[in-house]
Chains A and B, each alone.
Chain A
């Protein structure tokens, strides 16, 4: 194993970890600010100038609170739940290509921790494991509301994973590869998938909202009926991990959406730059896209009320999956036509 490669990847991993957590922390702040603006309020403004230290104050509060475990809870699963939720949320970012290659110290540094050739499958795998965090947490709490939240989370996951997977297959067919790097490279410049697959994007985006348990699909939490759902019994930093995992996965899903449909780090006119300038610019562009999608996801949360559970199932099974399948078949026919299948 090349030592320099090891160091380079290690730096990238640590950097990614810190950036993910930092962005997740400031997403909580920005979410509260945005909610306030949309409701004609001011929002948090006491901790530091414009309340900029609010996430730190929240973190300190979370750590200082009593860490309570219910008497009849399954102790180990109770601890495992938030851990799984946080772990899977963080690990997905390892295969995201953050920018074009960087040239430093005579080496070519790939801004991606690991380029699996099964990239997109890995994303789906980790996201599916992510729901185990919620399920185990809800089950271990030994509480009706928590169990309801957990059941809702798992059934919602099953329903929406399908439509999401089918719309992802459409993109895989377009680019001809499962690897995220290839998918991004096939959208060079302004050749983004959104212009070819707007319906697919819509389905994928709605499913991504459902997968990250964001409003209007936040039924597993559902404060008004389930008292917080799967994290009803949680307190202190365990609760913090659950809430944090949601924001980390929101960050990651915003990244995945920009990779699949909005060209990842590609931007129009990128051929005029080269080398490290291009690398820096591409990272900036990618983060701009990610922040935009985080903003949109929050914007939707503060606009649309929560679905009823049967409406959720109806939307998932009877609307999104048929649309995704029809879209997949149409895309297949068009691709086959392009390859010249029907010509002779």
Chain B
């Protein structure tokens, strides 16, 4: 058969020579290799003291952003839920009432917004679908829990605190949506 790649190798089963049958030279060769590795540098990251640096495009736990005045960006349009391939996102929309202008940026907002972190595959399509720059994936890690229900994150976990903003500039500057 014509070889389409240059990776073809002819298998040979020629009988072993006397030196190969002794096995000892091969064993000494192997031991020399392991001896060399004893003096090589290890690549261990000693976890609690050292932590691996995340890539700028790392996709971890979500955040629901607020704008500069501390109003929630999300308008509960549902595009993220539609985009989600894992069906992890659900939400309930509500109309903004008088006197709530300082809480929500636009007339419609998400009364409840839940992400099931066990369903989520951290693909980032919700972030890409969002027209309001409301949902982002961050470099935070979803902590472990003992109960499956504890993995359903609601707004109390997802929305960023006003006084403790989550930095997502690294995600915004990945070139996907241009530099802001």
Residue positions of A touching B, CB distance < 8 A:
34, 36-42, 45, 202, 299-300, 302-304
Determine if A38 and B42 form an interchain contact, defined as CB atoms under 8 angstroms apart. no
Q: Please judge, given known A-B contacts A303-B27, A304-B27, whether A40 and B37 are in contact too, CB under 8 Å.
A: yes
Bound Cα distance from A133 to B103, whole angstroms = 75
When distances are taken between beta carbons in the complex, the residues of chain A under 8 Å from B35 are 299
CB distance from A38 to the nearest CB of B (A): 5
Verify B27–A40 contact, CB threshold 8 A: no
What are 17 A-B residue pairs whose CB atoms fall within 8 Å in the complex? A37-B37, A37-B38, A38-B34, A38-B38, A40-B37, A40-B41, A40-B43, A41-B44, A42-B46, A202-B24, A299-B34, A300-B31, A303-B30, A303-B31, A303-B33, A303-B34, A304-B30
A-B contact count (CB 8 A): 33
Contacts from B to A (Cβ < 8 Å): 24, 27, 30-31, 33-35, 37-38, 40-44, 46
A41 touches B42 (CB 8 A): yes
| A281 to B75 alpha-carbon distance, docked (Å) | 84
Nearest CB in chain B: distance from A281 CB, A: 28
Contact A34 B38, CB 8 Å, known A300-B31, A303-B27: yes
- Interface centre among A38, A42, A300, by most chain B C-beta atoms within 10 angstroms, is A38
Which residues from A are CB-within-8-Å of B44? 41-42
Give me the 8 closest cross-chain CB pairs, A-B, nearest first.
Answer: A37-B38, A42-B44, A303-B34, A38-B34, A303-B30, A40-B42, A303-B31, A38-B37
B30 proximity list for chain A (CB < 8 A): 303-304
A303 CA to B33 CA in the complex, in Å?
A: 8
A40 contacts B31, C-beta separation under 8 Å: no
Complex-state Cα separation, A40 to B42, whole angstroms: 5
User: Which chain B residues lie closer than 8 Å to A41 at the CB level?
Assistant: 42, 44
CA distance in complex: A300, B32 (Å)? 10
**With A299-B31, A303-B27 known to touch, is A39 a contact of B37 (CB < 8 Å)?**
yes
B-side contacts of A45, CB under 8 Å: 46
- Contact partners of A39 in chain B: CB under 8 A: 37
Question: Whose C-beta in chain A lies nearest to the C-beta of B42?
Answer: A40
Q: In the complex the two chains form, what is the Cα distance from A170 to B95 in whole Å?
A: 98
- Give complex CA distance A304, B24 in Å: 11
Point out which of B24, B40, B42 has the most chain A C-beta atoms below 10 A from its C-beta.
Answer: B42
CB-CB under 8 A from B24, the residues of chain A are: 202
- Find chain A residues with CB under 8 A from B37 CB: 37-40
CB closest chain-B residue, reference A305 = B30
Q: In the assembly, what is the distance between CA of A300 and CA of B23, in Å? A: 14
A299 contacts which chain B residues (CB < 8 A)? 31, 34-35
Residues in B neighbouring A303, C-beta threshold 8 A: 27, 30-31, 33-34
Determine the residue in chain A with the shortest Cβ distance to B27.
A304
Give complex CA distance A215, B44 in Å: 26
Most buried by A among B31, B33, B34, B42: B34
Q: How far is the CB of B159 from chain A (nearest CB, A)?
A: 39
Cα distance A303–B31 when bound, in Å? 6
> Quick check: A302 and B42 within 8 Å, CB to CB?
no
B164 → chain A, closest Cβ, in Å? 33
